[in-house]
Amino acid sequence: MRRFCVFLHPISMEDKANGLRQKTIYLIRHGETDYNRRGIVQGSGVDSDLNDMGRAQAMAFFQAYQHVPFSKIYISSLKRTYQTVEPFIELGLPHEILPGLNEISWGVMEGKVPNSIDNEYYRNLIESWAAGQTSMTTDGGESPEEVAARQKPAIDTILSRPDEEPVLVAMHGRAMRILLSWLTGRSLANMDQFEHSNLCLYKLRYEYDTKQCVIEQANDSTHLLTLALA
């Protein structure tokens, strides 16, 4: 089933009056880790913890969105996503681990501080993906096409439960780019148009009747402004 997405189109009063069935998805990237801060590649093979800034980001997001009546939380199998939404879980909200939401595997690059050769290799890989060669992988890693293939059953699981509304989904940077690409009907080659930062928010609305997904907020980090002022 192909899904399309339109940017920044909030639901109208007419839509509400027509009773369109929908699911609101608050999609966030995990908070900062020391690996993020130090520029070390994590991927799915490094199960790192949030650092002090990441925990502060998690609390800032919680304080900004604790009023939202989330019915379910979905996370990857990597603990940095659990730690990001832990304040909500401590309220008693149910959560479920979906490994299909895990970060891309960067293979031999994971856990390394990139040197100049690694950086050139990475740039070439990103350029190849942007040129449409999305089956390419790092040595021992995953391609964007492989990541998209494992994401689809996870998203189908979330969408198969229309009574769970709204939901909070915590995942990872590159995986988020890939997800937003195929979920919007775009080529994976265009994934880098979806910018992100630690604990940014993409607010999505999936309409069951039209099978369209609408992005209402993109790369929103206004909830972190209080940290910048501290």
* For the chain, domain boundaries: 4-229
Q: Is 161 annotated as a binding residue?
A: no
* pLDDT mean over 18-37: 90
Sign of the CA dihedral 36, 228, 169, 215?
A: negative
> Which of these is catalytic: 86, 103, 142, 164?
103
Residue 20 confidence (pLDDT): 62
Among the residue ranges 3-17, 89-103, 138-152, the one predicted with the least confidence is: 3-17
The answer to the question of whether 31 is labelled as a binding residue is yes
pLDDT of residue 116 exceeding 70:
yes
Beta strand spans in the chain (E) = 4-7, 22-29, 72-75, 95-97, 167-171, 201-207, 212-220
pLDDT in the model for residue 1: 33
Q: Which CATH class is domain 4-229?
A: alpha beta
Which pTM was predicted?
Answer: 0.90
Q: Give exposure, 108-128, as e/b (b: 16+ Cβ within 10 Å).
A: ebbeeeeeeeeeebeeebeee
From 4-18, 68-82, 168-182, 184-198, the region with the lowest mean pLDDT: 4-18
On whether the CB atoms of residues 153 and 100 are closer than 8 A, the answer is yes
pLDDT of residue 109: 92
Catalytic-role residue among 9, 14, 30, 142: 30
36 is in an annotated binding site: yes
Tell me the pLDDT tens digit for each residue of 127-177: 999 999 999 999 999 999 999 999 999 999 999 999 999 999 999 999 999
Q: Check whether 35 is labelled as a binding-site residue.
A: yes
Q: Are 223 and 216 in contact (CB under 8 A)?
A: no
Predicted pLDDT at 19: 53
Phi, psi for residue 26 in degrees, rounded to 5: -95, 105
Q: What is the pLDDT of residue 229?
A: 65
| 29 marked as part of a ligand binding site | yes
166-225 residue pLDDT tens: 999 999 999 999 999 999 889 999 999 999 999 999 999 998 998 888 899 999 999 999
Q: Is 30 a catalytic residue?
A: yes
pLDDT band at 2 (very low <50, low <70, confident <90, very high): very low
Q: Is the peptide bond before 144 cis (omega within 30 degrees of 0)?
A: no
